[in-house]
Amino acid sequence: MDTDRPALAVDIGGTKLAAGVIEPGGRVVTWEQTPTRRDLDGEQLWRTLDALISRALESAEISRPQSLAGVGCGCGGPMEWPSGVVSPLNIPAWRAFPLRGRLEERFAGLPVRVHNDAICLAAAEHWRGAGQDCSNMLGVVVSTGVGGGLILDGRLIAGASGNAGHIGHVIVEPDTGPRCACGGRGCLEAIARGPAVAAWAQAQGWRPGQPDVSARDLAADAARGDPVGRAALARAGRALGLAITSATLLCDLELIVVGGGLAQAGPLLFDSLHEAVRQYARLPFARGVRVVPAGLGQSAGLVGAAALILQGEQYWSGD
């Protein structure tokens, strides 16, 4: 890997597409973004991304792809890994879309690497965020879903199919918990994903101020003292704390970094999370585990995607 050259980074989510140029040291030189339009078909969406990439390269004054070390891309799951054939839950237009292949055609001769967006966030936090100088950490993203990425013994772990770190289906309430979309019951995600938190609050009598119910509104109401909102976030925080404790004990982790929209709720979520960790993570080796909010802001997705290229030895084990 030629670390004198920057990487092109691409971040594909259900809300926005982003592309940027990242220096070998991890600094974002420039970036562009555009909404992920729901009215486009798969090819139209690809052309939108293609144009966005061109704009990002132009604004970084990169005219020759050979000036780049490679292309790193984070995308919502699920995907076949490492082939990068993606079917993002929140982008119905792409089903079995050969994202890595398309990027490889677009950037012939350059390394192109695609990974799950939650895994890219974990890589970013480890490389340039809250997890620097830590060899064993889990990055958790709490948003529409609950995902994550796992760094152990200083490397990003892929697992059998590139899904290691996916904490969302750790079981926290096996008998009495809600059904999960995966087919199981009592998974972390079924309790702590944003829409589930909002739905639980509604079932308990919370009435959102607008028809488009969101966990963000719930968090705002909770911050103003709404007791159901506070209970809903505390319940999600406890579930996160239980799953994080199990992960800490199983993987001997030092640090958990929690990001994603719901993490913005701050102490309303983190107080009960920390309390559950204190209560359950009691073995000496686990007692010192730290749980902190993500340190990088908006740029984390791009920085993590770039890490797949710029720090491939640590963060990429695919072909």
Residues that bind a copy of itself (CB under 8 A): 78, 135-136, 150, 152-153, 155, 157-174, 180, 182-185, 242-243, 245-247, 249-254, 279-286, 317
The DSSP element (H or E) to which 245 belongs, if any, is helix 227-251
Given a contact cutoff of 8 angstroms between Cβ atoms, the answer to whether 289 and 281 are in contact is: yes
Closer CB to a copy of itself, 46 or 81, in the complex: 81
Given a contact cutoff of 8 angstroms between Cβ atoms, the answer to whether 94 and 59 are in contact is: no
CB of 143 to a copy of itself, least distance (A): 18
CB of 155 to a copy of itself, least distance (A): 7
What whole-number distance in Å separates Cα of residue 68 and Cα of residue 52? 17
Residue of 104, 24, 28, 18 whose CA lies nearest to 55: 18
Closer CB to a copy of itself, 199 or 251, in the complex: 251
CB of 247 to a copy of itself, least distance (A): 6
Measured N-to-C along each axis, helices 117-128 and 300-310 cross at an angle, to the nearest 10 degrees, of 80
Given a contact cutoff of 8 angstroms between Cβ atoms, the answer to whether 131 and 149 are in contact is: no
Q: What's the chain's Rg over C-alpha atoms?
A: 19
CB of 317 to a copy of itself, least distance (A): 6
Given a contact cutoff of 8 angstroms between Cβ atoms, the answer to whether 94 and 87 are in contact is: yes
The DSSP element (H or E) to which 35 belongs, if any, is strand 28-35
316 CB-side CA count, 13 A = 26
Closer CB to a copy of itself, 157 or 273, in the complex: 157
CB of 150 to a copy of itself, least distance (A): 7
Closer CB to a copy of itself, 273 or 302, in the complex: 273
What whole-number distance in Å separates Cα of residue 229 and Cα of residue 231? 5
CB of 257 to a copy of itself, least distance (A): 15
Closer CB to a copy of itself, 36 or 143, in the complex: 143
Closer CB to a copy of itself, 19 or 85, in the complex: 85
Closer CB to a copy of itself, 109 or 284, in the complex: 284
CB of 282 to a copy of itself, least distance (A): 3
What whole-number distance in Å separates Cα of residue 118 and Cα of residue 166? 8
